[in-house]
Structure 1
Amino acid sequence: MSLTTLSSVLFRLFQYIEGANLNYSRISMTVPVLTSIVPGAGPLHSSAYFVKFYLPTKFSAIPPLALPELNLRPDSWKSHCIAVRKFSGFARDSNIVKEAEKLALSLSKSPWANSTSTDSGYAYSIAQYNSPLRFIRRVNEVWVDVSGPDEDSCKSRLMAEF
């Protein structure tokens, strides 16, 4: 993903939360901000991505619609299971892929081996919890969807490290 394109998306999201929506509502920023990577969906088989953030509860039932020129759309996720790997520092191309690989390696050595789900269409997502102006004690996560034989399967092992 290019920095210019990502900056454009983030600027449009910023405009949206500052009131560039059909009812001119200001929306409190929430965390995490998610960047979901879709491999091979971009031009010349490059990766594409979606940037998302959670709406405050106040707006969850009826989200304010973005102004059409912002080219943003609401998305809702059904309940699903994810595997998570936490990492610090700034989330950059150079360390995101390494962290995703470490998560994949951990999963391969766990009861969750071969359980990654492609239902979402994303290879993985990066969750960023801090403002870009925060330089120390930053928290990020790499997320990957996992599936099990039934709904309760992800509840059985809430935390494990391999």
Structure 2
Amino acid sequence: MILLSVRKDIDARCAGSSSVHTIAAYLLFQYLMGANLNSSRIRMTTPVLTSVVPGAGPLHSSAYFVRLYLPAKFQASPPVPLPELNLHPDRWSSHCIAVRSFSGYARDKNVVEEAEKLAMSLSRSPWANSTNYPSKNAYSIAQYSSPFRIISRVNEVWFDVDCKSTGVETY
């Protein structure tokens, strides 16, 4: 049984940080609370997306990039973060992703296990040869639930895939 779905993600503007995850979350929260050049308070959106970038860290270790999608109101003209936050405006280009959902908190151990399960499902699917799609990320973790929510948490692991190579129509 294949436990994955493939969907086309939206084209969206994001704010992001390559700092350690807990620091990145704090910096992004500051940005949402008005630490930007026009002091705009920005409504929190989901998911919080953490992408694993292989070999980009010290000694070729993995690095992480944490993104927050910006609400529709700020898509055309995102508030510029204060320079001291060292946040990067980002655009998440529309592309196809293979997705596996999981519950609980997204921790190092279970995230790797879920990524391995998605890789196994992909290897047995029509998308088996489409994961070489040009991507700087090994995979991404999408967290939809508030950190204060203890049960019924919703998370996903995402791999970039090439829908065109499988004949899947995208709209």
What is the TM-score normalised by the length of structure 1? 0.89
Given that 1:126 and 1:141 are in contact with CA atoms closer than 8 Å, whether structure 2 keeps it comes out as yes
Instruction: Work out the percentage of aligned pairs sharing the same amino acid.
Output: 66
Which amino acid is 2:138 matched to?
Answer: A
Deviation track 1:94-146 (CA, whole Å, cap 9, x = no partner) reads 10000000000000000000101442300000000011110000000000100
Residue aligning to 1:93: 108
Residue aligning to 2:57: 42
Of residues 114-123 and 64-73 in structure 1, the stretch that sits farther from structure 2 once superposed is 114-123
Residue aligning to 2:30: 15
Counterparts of residues 64-75 of structure 1 (less than 5 Å): 64-75=79-90
Work out which structure has the larger RCO, using CA pairs closer than 8 Å and 6 or more positions apart in sequence: 2
2:96 matched to 1:81? yes
CA distance in 1, matches of 2:109, 2:165: 36
Question: How many angstroms does 1:149 deviate by?
Answer: 3.1
Of residues 112-121 and 45-54 in structure 1, the stretch that sits farther from structure 2 once superposed is 112-121
Residue aligning to 2:73: 58
2:134 matched to 1:134? no
Aligned residues: 153
Q: Measured at CA, do residues 152 and 17 of structure 1 come closer, stay the same or move farther in structure 2, by a change above 3 Å? A: farther
Q: Measured at CA, do residues 44 and 147 of structure 1 come closer, stay the same or move farther in structure 2, by a change above 3 Å? A: same
Question: How many angstroms does 1:46 deviate by?
Answer: 1.1
SS at match of 2:92: coil
Gaps in structure 1 of 5+ consecutive residues: 157-162
CA distance in 2, matches of 1:137, 1:70: 32
CA distance in 1, matches of 2:52, 2:115: 11
Gaps in structure 2 of 5+ consecutive residues: 1-18
Question: How many angstroms does 1:13 deviate by?
Answer: 0.2
What is the TM-score normalised by the length of structure 2? 0.84
Given that 1:88 and 1:138 are in contact with CA atoms closer than 8 Å, whether structure 2 keeps it comes out as yes
CA distance in 2, matches of 1:91, 1:81: 22
Residue aligning to 1:160: none
Which amino acid is 1:77 matched to?
Answer: W
More strand by share: 2
CA distance in 2, matches of 1:46, 1:77: 23
Question: How many angstroms does 1:154 deviate by?
Answer: 5.2
